[in-house]
Each structure stands twice: as C-alpha cells, then as structure tokens.
Structure 1
C-alpha cells in the first residue's frame, strides 16, 4: 500500500475515534444521538451481573438482605416503590418454583392432569360453539309449510282432536308408571302433554276384526314404538317417530288411518271424486307398493270379518303404472292414497286429485326423502292442503338437523325415539371383510355359503348390479335384480319372485334399502360400502327383523373413504360387534370430540366417527351447491346473450 493512502486512512481513523470520544464526553450536545445509543456490555460483565442478581434474590428469599439492599429497597420515591413491588413479585415467583420443586411426582402428575382437563374443557366449549354456528348456517330457513299459510301468517296452535280416548284405567295411572314402561323398553319421549304408553292392542280399543287380523300376522303384542306411537297418533298428535329398522313403524300409521277412515265413512259416505282423507308419501315405488298391500290386507280383513264395516278404497299413485287405473279408484271416492312425490305432484297439477278433505299426512322415510332432493316437492304438496292436518314423520335415521327442520311443520309434536336415531339393530351380526376390488365378485360365492337363502346383495352402481346378477346366473345361483334403470313391470316381478321364495338372491341398488320388508332374509351382503353411513344402517336393517337374527357382511378396501370407515367403526362399537384389526388401527384426531355435548357424533348426518365440523356429507353438498351455482350463472349469462 502507498504511503499517502496509509496516512489518509490513519487520519480518518483518528477523526472517527475523536468523534466517538466527543459523543461519550459531550454533555447533552445531541440528545437524539444519546437516546439512540446503546453501549456494548462484554459477555463476562453480563454473566457477573446475572450471578449478582441471582445471589441477591437468594438473600431476599432467605430473609437476610444486605445493608445496601435494605437501603436501596427503602421506599423513597415512586421509582423505588415500583422497584420494591417488582422485587416482591419475583420473590413470590421464586417461592412458587421452590414449592413446586418440593412436590412429589404424584402431586405433580395430578396438577398436570388438572391443567390438561381444564384445557380440554376450553377446547370442547370452543368446538361446541363452532358446531352451533355451522348447524345454524345449514339450517333450513323456510318452514315445511304451505306457501299460503306462510303468506297469511297462519299458525295452528292446538293439535287435531279425535274421538279416541285411552281407557280410564290407563288415564288414571300415575305418570311414574308410564315412565317405568318407557324406561323398560328404552323409549324416549319429548313434547307437551305426553300421551300414555299402552302395552296391548285390546286396550287401544281396536275392533275385534282388526285384532284377529293382527293375530293372523302373528302380531300379538305391540312393539316399543307401537306402545307409545299408536296412542299418540290415535289421539290426534303430530309425531316424529324414530326406531331401528324392523321395529314395526308401519303399523303405527297404518292402523290409525284405517280407523279414522272407517269413522269418516260411517259418518258420511265418500262421494265420487272425493278424497283422499289420508295421504302417505314415500321415496320409492317398491316401498309405496308394500305399504299399499299392508293397508289392503287389513282393510279387506276388517270388511270380511264384520259385514257392518264399510269397504275402504285405497289408491296407489306411483310412476310406471297406468294413470287410468288410479283415476278409476279416485273417481269412486278414495279414502287412503299411497304415493311417491313425483307422480302425486303430476296428478295434483293436472287436477286429477285434490287434497281438500285430506286431514292425515304421513311421510315414511322422511329424512331420506329430504336428502334425495324431494324437499321442494314436499313443500309443493303442502300447498295443496286446505286446512289443518295431522302430520307424522317416520324413519330409522333422523339426524338433529332433519328433526329441527321437521318440527317447523308440526303442531306441538311428540318425538318418540326407541334407541338412538341411526343406531343399527343389535339382532344383526355385522361382519366386515377386507376384499380387493378385483376379487369382490369372486368372493361373493364363498360369502353366500355363510347362510341358507334368502340373501340380499347391495351395490352402489347399476352396472355392478347387472354384472353381479349375470355372474350369479352363470354360476347356477337363482337370482333376480332391481335398480332404477329397469322398468316397473320387471322390478315388480323380481320383488314378487324373491318374496315368494322362487328366487334365492336379490341383487339391488339402494332402491331396496329403504323400508322394504322381505320375509326370512338370513343374510345381507354389501358388495361395496355406501358413501353414507345412514344407507348402511338401512341396508343391514333388511335382516334381523322382528326379533329374528341375521348376518350382514360388508366388503371394504382402500377405495373407501376414511370418514365412512370411522363411522362404521363406532357404529360397530355401539352395537357391541367384533372389530376387525384394520378398523381397530384406524384413528383420527377428531375422535377426542365424539362424545361431548348432547348429540353423539355428527348432528348433520348422524355419523358416529366425526363431528359436524368435518362432516364429509355436508362438505359434498356445499361443493355441489357451489358448482351448480357457478353453472347456473354461466348458463344465465349465455341465455342472456342469445
């Protein structure tokens, strides 16, 4: 380096050192520089200061402070007072640490446990608040009422009055005795002025001809849902009936409607084109036909046993049947109508039928109808009513969301629940097998050997139903198949052949899962796990009915969503079924929140393996609505351009 450059650098260093010296030595010449300046403290000095502070604290704790400390701690000013308070706080903290250090391990564990429980309670409270917000956001804003009633602000305050009254000895019983019966049969009832429970058909004042018909069907004693449901319906109350599949829900609305129609016919005979007085709406054609046949059996048997009894006319209104045949019954005056929503709306709009005198409405599998998209159709049907009606809603699975929605249309409803809503029947032995997709159809043959016929096989897709049906026929198995793609005549023939015992196996989609009563089904096979745990409950409910035992086998593999498997796992635990190892190993972070609050599991879909905050069904519906909204906006803009 050149000499001039070195001299210049040394001059610069000298200037900068002088400048630093001036900064230290100047007396407030530049206040801003002094305020911003933080002097450097060497590491050794910092350690010494820290040790001095610790030793000072120890002296204070021991109670022997030094003279300097005493002089410093004397309160002389505000700053000294605050310093004294700070020191005292630090002392208290140190004392707490020392006390904690002297705790035994057991005491420390209990303290930590209490802290964890308190934290968990806070988390649960947050979770419940979040769930309430979600449930409110998805709750239906429009009530399930007629448009004219909503527009005029019509609200019915009291239930419909009927001429039926319970026997005096039943009414004279104390409420405690009724509660004992409910507790014995695990009946949960909610509502105002609860009707009594009656444990025999004779005490319900049914005529002898109807009692004889029940005996012919080997029905001698009411089931739990009938003990509470029949008195409620006969007394004119609106009800929400929830009970496991095969518990006898159908008779709860069939027997009263027959009694009411007989009474109406006695008072004043139905004229041409008059009626119906009672309307039953169901989601599927097969279920509608089944209920129609049950009503026909009891109404015919009543007329045959007692010639004084009038003959009731029942009409079946479903797609796939000739409207002319249905109109013939209506033209003569119809007492009871069993219908699917689509065909009924078509006939109402064309004024082939009216609901002017209809005072009895029942919706079987009500939650399934709302889930299947019939909600607007049901609302449309309500608008055709003329006056107050008695409304009954029945299902095996009815989540809280649907119950809250249903109550909007009911007058002082009675909610009757036998067991948990959505629970599987304990008479069904549930077996879960891990089967690869390519091996499922072959594994069916070995699975069919578990029991004797009759066997019901469920599949999600129509093409799978056809493939299984063809495979079984090639293997020499007597099988029939039904799904929504087949015509009504073919579906009816398949169901009749299976019911009569001509065929051993029925392969079907979920059209056969809702409410259908097939006698003597020994085994239900789920070829694939449904996307909804409610569908699974309805499927396996086709066996193990009326106290008989049955088996349900379900094939699962990696294609099944984890949330559905978690729902199944907890459903099996609830029913005290054997868990396969791969379900035992399945764990989720949301499982810690499953049993909190009044509602087990999800309050939207009823699944036990998750909460509403991570409900796959709700997420799928929201995604579908979002996508359809986008398409509508696009189509609307396109239409405007045209």
Structure 2
C-alpha cells in the first residue's frame, strides 16, 4: 500500500499531458496501412526511373499509328506499364523486357527528333535573317532624280567600236569556261564577253603595251582577262577581286582609249568635258589613280597620238589650278565626292558629255557616308553612261543596291568578295595594350623595310611616329588631321624608299599601291573585318609574298575576333589557340551549310541577326532622327 501511494504521489507531481484522438475518415483509416513506403534500394529506384522515362517516351511517340508501329509502343503498352507500377511487382521485369527498346533504337529515335528540331531552327533562323535584310535593303534606286521622275530607263548597254577578235569568238565555249575555272573567275550576267589572255588581242596600241612592259606587266591578271573585254564592250560592271590583283587597270585603260577615240573624232573645246569621271573615297587613292592615268596618257602622246588632259579634283589642293585645267577642256577627271560636289554646285564642272563613270572602292564610299553625294552626282548626268563599280569587299547588300543603277550588269568576281589575298602570310599575336608599343620594335625586325603600320586613332599614329623617331627609326605618318601637303610629302618619301616605316590610319588602307611592301603591322585590330582585308592587302601584291602581323587582346569585340578567325581558316592560315577556342552561337547550335557569314557586311564569324555594323548603322540613324526632331522643335535657335 505504501509503495502504491508513493507512486501516486509521484504521478501527481508530473504535469498532465492531454492526448486527443484524431478522427480519421473510414476510407483513410482502411488505407493507412497501405500508405507505408518501405526503403527502396538504389538499383531498384534507377530501374523504376528508367521504366517511367520509357513509358512517357512511348506516350510521346504513340501519337500516330505510324509512330506506334515504328517505336513499338501503343496505348495498351502504357496501360500495362501503369499497372506494372502497381500490385503485380513480380510481372514488372517480364513486362519491361517485353516492351523494352534497345539503346540503339532509342538513340536513333532521339537523333531523328533532334534533326527535325535542328532543321526547323535553321529554317526559322534563315527566315528571320531574310526579313532583317529586306528591312535594311535600299528601297531608293541609285539613279538620277530626273530619270526617276520622268520614268527614264535604259535597257541596252552603251555601244562601242570595240569587238572581241574573231579567232577568240570562234573558240568553243568549253575552252572559255575552262579558262575561267583555271583562274577562279566567276561571272554573272547576260551575253558575257569571252576572256582574253593577252593585251595584244585586246587591241591596245603599241605605246600602251610598251608602257605596261615598263611597269613589268606582261600579261593580264585574272580580273583583267575578263574585266577588260567587258568594259571595252561598253558593258556596266561590278568588279570584285582581292587587293593587289590589278583592278585599277580594268577601268583606267578603257577610259584612256575611249577619251582618245573622242579626241580624234572631235577635239574637246574650252569648258568641255569630262568624258570620263572616276570617284574615289580618299585623296591618296584619287591622287594615285590620277598618276596612273597620266602615265598612260603621256605614253600615248609621246607616240604621236593626240594628248589627253586629266584633272585631279580633291580637297586640300588649290581650286584655281583645277579650274584652269577644266576651262581648257578636260577628257578625264579623278575626284573625291566632297570637292566634286562643291565644284558642280558652283557650276564649275558639268557632266553634260560624261558617258563613263567609275566608283572605285564603291562599298567603302557608301559606308563612309557618301551615298547621298553619289545620288546627287548621278542627277547631273544628261544621258546614259557606262557605270563601273570596283572593290575588294562588296557584300550582297551593296551589290543589290548597285544593280539598280546598272544596265544589264556583268559581275566579275575573282575569289570570294571580302576574301584576303592568298599571297599574304597572316600572323596574329596576343599583346597587352600597355605592351604594344614596345612589342612593335621587335615586330618591325621580322622583315626588311618598307613596313606599313596601321592604327585606329590619330593620336595613336602620332604617338607611334614619335616613339619610332626617338628609337632611331626612319618613319613618317599620315592621318586625316594632317594637311594635304604634309600627307603627300610623307607618301612620296615612303614610295621613294627615303623612309622605312609609314604609320597611318585607314586613309592609307584603301586602294593605295606601294611597291615592295614587305610587312604590314596592325597595331590595332580594326572594328570592321573589311578594313582588315584592305590593310593587309597593301602587301602580297602582284603575286609577291608578304607578311601581315596583327596585335589583339581582350579589349577587342568578340564578333570581330570571330570574323578574323573564319577569315584565317578560309585563307588556310595558322590559328593561334586563343582564337581557336572562340566559338559563335551559330557554330554551337546551327550548321547552316553554304549559308556562311553575315549577308549585310560579309563577315564570316557572325550572322546578320547579331551584326555589329548593322546595329551601329541603326543606332546612328536613330540618333540622327532624334536630333532632327530636337532641332526642328526650335532648339536650333539656342
């Protein structure tokens, strides 16, 4: 009794814990024992996961009768699999074996599914790119305003007195095609003239052929084989070939012959002319073209034929001297757009008798913002003209835009538009920004002079020039901030071999021809891959070998590096590891086959959907529209 009472007393001291019975529904109470989930071994869990994945895949594939029969799944399979997960675990393995698909079949099905998705993604990408290109394509034709207003159209090219020699015309077509294929000449257009392998068969006078021999030009280059017969026939033409391939002679020799023909039939009087007009994007290129034309005109006049007057119209040179030549009557004029526009607006120059128009480096001219000037120049013509466009880089957008101004145009393409010359050995080096100028000295020692060094900014050109002079290097520099006299003197000294190094911005990259350039150094990688192609094209000219060294680092935009990578691959050059590691989105996910590169700018390392050049152009247009609206609102008064 005493023990019992002690235990009761102890229980009274403890706190009372109240317990409540939870009322459960009858159904739940019945199933409570079945809800217990025992531990499942890892192997068994994996097997169950594989089975459930296969079942869901079978449901995906079983949407059509054809797919059911192909995959071996049907609705019954799914039901059986579902039942297998339930009360009959002993039948699970047998069911799985019965309806299992081999790994190879699974792989094939997944591969087919992936390929279908991939094709649809490619189609979607190409359609999107087509829409973008259409939205940015020029709707405004490159024609004179008066011709557009009056609905004047020309359907036949200008007729000339020149014809392909009979023995070449009688040669079988297969031989002409074989010749084009041998020299990688691609042609497009109607009634294509046959290619000609000698200057003699092109019917040039002896004085011109001898002048060519003095320059070391004994036979036509591929672009000249096809281009010269086309131009001499009076055809409009788009000429595309890598830098240093002899494009200049394709339009220089015919204009000299046409002007000579006009002078012999009827002498040019005071204030008459020009008969031929050549427009260049830079002063240096215009001056170089003028000197080439003058050379062949002098050769003709020394042989006893009539002399031809050539005029150079560029900024930075006395207008009075140019006007004096024009007033005497001029046969051929070489000009930059700005000075030519100024002289035409002042009615110093007229294009009433002009029947021959050349746009040299045409795509660069449009890119540099001269497009409206070119349109205005077209409106000064009083009749049909033969129009020629030449460049080493000409994207499809520019070609399509240019065709609006041409009559039955012929496109002559030697190599891909925008491709680098195969004669240039391209080297790419990773150099930190702060180490560039010191590394430049070592790079200059790779080859003998002369060497061209390109930089993006004017201040960098001046800094490099000063550094090289301090280190005892004979160097000169040119950029847009220097006056024309200083620029001309620097180029002349470099050409004569008095200076070893020329440091320049891109004013020296487009079309300039320097003899025996051994080495081109890109101190800065340009923002545009087309500028890179033009720069390195200053070496490796006329079949000679050259070296181009480019400094790159992390500050350069990845899209430019991808373009550079693909350009090096195309030219079969050695890829440095840091470029090889770069991969574009299209390389990762889409294989677009022959659809390579950007259809807007021609860069091989990106698509038009992420073209930096297009984006920059659109941003520029947007900012200019905003500024116009702002100024129109009255802000201009401030």
TM-score (norm 2): 0.85
2:161 maps to 1:176: no
User: Shift of the alpha carbon at 1:598?
Assistant: 5.1
Give CA-to-partner distance per residue, 1:285-322, whole Å, 9 cap, x none.
00000000000001111221x21x11111000000111
State the match for 2:360 in structure 1.
364
Does the aligned pair in 2 maintain the 1:593–1:611 contact within 8 Å? no
Aligned 8 A contact 1:357 1:386 in 2: yes
Mapping for residues 110-125 of structure 1, pairs under 5 Å? 110-125=108-123
Aligned twin of 2:41: none
Mark the CA change 1:94 to 1:448 in structure 2 (over 3 Å): closer, same or farther: farther
Q: CA deviation at 1:207?
A: 1.1
- The Cα shift of 1:588 comes to 2.2
Q: Deviations over 1:71-121 (max 9, x none)?
A: xxxxxxxxxxxxxxxxx9513778999899655444443433333222211
Distance change in 2, residues 1:42/1:619 (3 Å): farther
Superposition map of 1:95-494 within 5 A: 103-304=101-302, 306-307=303-304, 309-494=305-490
Q: Is the 8 A contact 1:594 1:601 kept in 2?
A: no
Contact 2:310 2:330 in 1 (8 A): yes
TM-fit CA distance, 1:617: 0.8
Whether 2:599 is the aligned partner of 1:603: answer: yes
The answer as to whether partners of 1:594 and 1:609 remain within 8 angstroms in 2 is no
Partner of 1:540: 536
Match runs of 1:41-120 below 5 Å? 90-91=75-76, 103-120=101-118
In structure 2, distance between residues paired with 1:274 and 1:43: 110
Aligned-residue offset at 1:154: 0.9
Using a 3 Å threshold, how does the CA distance of structure 1 residues 46 and 394 change in structure 2: closer, same or farther? farther
Residue number in structure 1 paired with 2:3: none
CA RMSD of aligned residues (A): 2.6
TM-superposed deviation, 1:515: 0.2
- C-alpha distance in 1 between matches for 2:519 and 2:78: 69
Structure-2 separation of matches of 1:339 and 1:40: 100
Further displaced range: 340-349 or 435-444: 435-444
Distance in 2 separating the partners of 1:408 and 1:44: 85
Contact 1:249/1:394, CA 8 A, preserved across alignment:
yes
Q: 1:27 maps to what in 2?
A: none
Q: Which of 609, 616, 620 is the equivalent residue of 1:613?
A: 609
Report the secondary structure of 1:442's partner residue: helix
1:578 aligns with 2:574: yes
* CA deviation profile, 1:473-494 (whole Å, cap 9, x unmatched): 0000000000000000000000
Q: 2:517 aligns with which of 515, 521, 526?
A: 521
Q: Shift in Å at residue 638 of structure 1? A: 2.6
Aligned to 1:557: 553
Q: For residues 31 and 583 of structure 2, what CA distance do their matches in structure 1 show?
A: 54
Deviation per residue, 1:443-478 (Å, 9 max, x gap): 111111000000000000000000000000000000
Paired residue for 2:56? none
Instruction: For residue 237 of structure 1, report the CA deviation from its aligned partner.
Output: 0.6
Between 1:478-487 and 1:176-185, the stretch displaced more is: 176-185
2:634 alignment partner, one of 595, 618, 638: 638
SS of residue in 2 equivalent to 1:204: coil
Map of 1:508 onto structure 2: 504
**Match of residue 590, structure 1, among 566, 569, 586:** 586
Which is worse superposed, 393-402 or 198-207? 198-207
Q: SS of the counterpart of 1:481?
A: strand
CA separation of 1:101/1:399 partners in 2, compared to 1, >3 Å: closer, same or farther?
farther
Q: Is the 8 A contact 2:118 2:590 kept in 1?
A: no
C-alpha separation between the residues in 2 aligned to 1:139 and 1:455?
Answer: 39
Rate the CA distance shift 1:321–1:407 in 2: closer, same or farther, 3 A.
Answer: same
Describe the shift of the 1:471–1:195 C-alpha distance in structure 2 as closer, same or farther (beyond 3 A).
Answer: same
Aligned equivalents of 1:179, 1:294: Cα separation in 2: 32
SS of the equivalent of 2:277 reads strand
Residues 169-178 or 341-350, more deviating? 169-178
SS across alignment from 2:135: helix
User: What is the aligned length?
Assistant: 570
Would you say the 8 A contact 1:432–1:555 is kept in 2? yes
Give the drift of 1:174.
2.4
The CA distance in 1 between the partners of 2:505 and 2:587, in whole Å, is 31
Corresponding residue SS for 2:354: coil
Identify unmatched segments of 5+ residues in structure 2: 1-21, 37-72, 82-94
Question: Structure 1 length as normaliser, TM-score?
Answer: 0.85
Does structure 2 retain, via aligned residues, the 8 Å contact 1:341–1:374?
Answer: yes
Q: Does the 8 Å contact 2:122/2:590 carry over to 1?
A: no
Query: How many angstroms apart in 2 are the aligned matches of 1:426 and 1:40?
Result: 85
* Structure 1 residue 200 displacement after superposition: 1.2
Contact kept in structure 1, 2:237 and 2:411, CA below 8 Å: yes
